[in-house]
Chains A and B, each alone.
Chain A
Amino acid sequence: KAGVTQTPRYLIKTRGQQVTLSCSPISGHRSVSWYQQTPGQGLQFLFEYFSETQRNKGNFPGRFSGRQFSNSRSEMNVSTLELGDSALYLCASSLGRGRLVTEAFFGQGTRLTVV
């Protein structure tokens, strides 16, 4: 079956602009999480969506937002881009939100460069 698909793979934006990244989870998966990866901070959790509702949120400013559609596809948006937002943004999908979720499947990420 197809894996997690993230688009676009690469993006260059200017400071102050906004950007929208897309994630299509594995068919049947209802939970989508977003992570930011930078050389300095490593992999950090942004937020998680399940059934179109945000269930968990990491410690990021309000410029970072997301949403999930009825088909489980998710988008994340970053407004008023800063140079420090340059990072690899990773999406992960999981089957559900049961008492124990065993495995998260990650996409290849979107590499965002802010200039």
Chain B
Amino acid sequence: DAKTTQPNSMESNEEEPVHLPCNHSTISGTDYIHWYRQLPSQGPEYVIHGLTSNVNNRMASLAIAEDRKSSTLILHRATLRDAAVYYCILRDANSGNTPLVFGKGTRLSVIA
């Protein structure tokens, strides 16, 4: 699996936008970019995924660079509930149900 690189930690003020970066310079053409987050004392939860185009859902937006070597998860208005570890994961669409390979992720702190 291609590897991803994320900052260890980030901090945001409540109700401000948050941009969580992820580098994946060795991404292949069939790798989808997935984001999961893990709130304290809970299992990970799916946030969003994309291939080439930017994606939006009720939780977040995913901005993918034109060369696909990096992406950014955007939380439009951070709330205290968004404090979690965010994982950027690549999954090869040609490999069936490949396991999720979690890195260290980015620990997001939200300040009231």
Contact = CB atoms under 8 A, between A and B. Distances in A.
A114 B37 CA distance: 27
Contacts of B32: 100
A56 B49 CA distance: 22
B45 A48 contact: no
Interface stretch (B8-16, B74-82, B100-108): B100-108
Contacts of A104: 36, 44, 46, 100
Q: How large is the interface on A (under 10, 10 to 19, 20 to 34, 35 or more residues)?
A: 20 to 34
B99 interface: yes
Contact of A48 (B44, B97, B102, B104): B97
Given A42-B102, A100-B32, A108 B42 contact: yes
Interface in B68-100: 87, 91, 93-94, 96-100
Nearest to A45: B99
A57 to B, nearest CB: 9
B102 A55 contact: no
Given A99-B93, A100-B32, A102-B49, A48 B99 contact: yes
Contact of B45 (A50, A101, A102, A106): A106
B43 interface: yes
Contacts of B36: 104
B96 A97 contact: yes
A50 B45 CA distance: 21
Nearest to A33: B99
A96 B97 CA distance: 8
Interface of B: 32, 36, 41-46, 49, 87, 91, 93-94, 96-105
22 contacts: A4-B43, A35-B100, A35-B102, A43-B44, A45-B100, A48-B97, A50-B97, A55-B97, A56-B97, A56-B98, A56-B99, A99-B94, A100-B32, A100-B91, A102-B49, A103-B46, A103-B49, A104-B36, A105-B46, A106-B43, A108-B42, A109-B42
Interface of A: 4, 31, 33, 35, 42-45, 48, 50, 55-56, 58, 90, 92, 94, 96-109
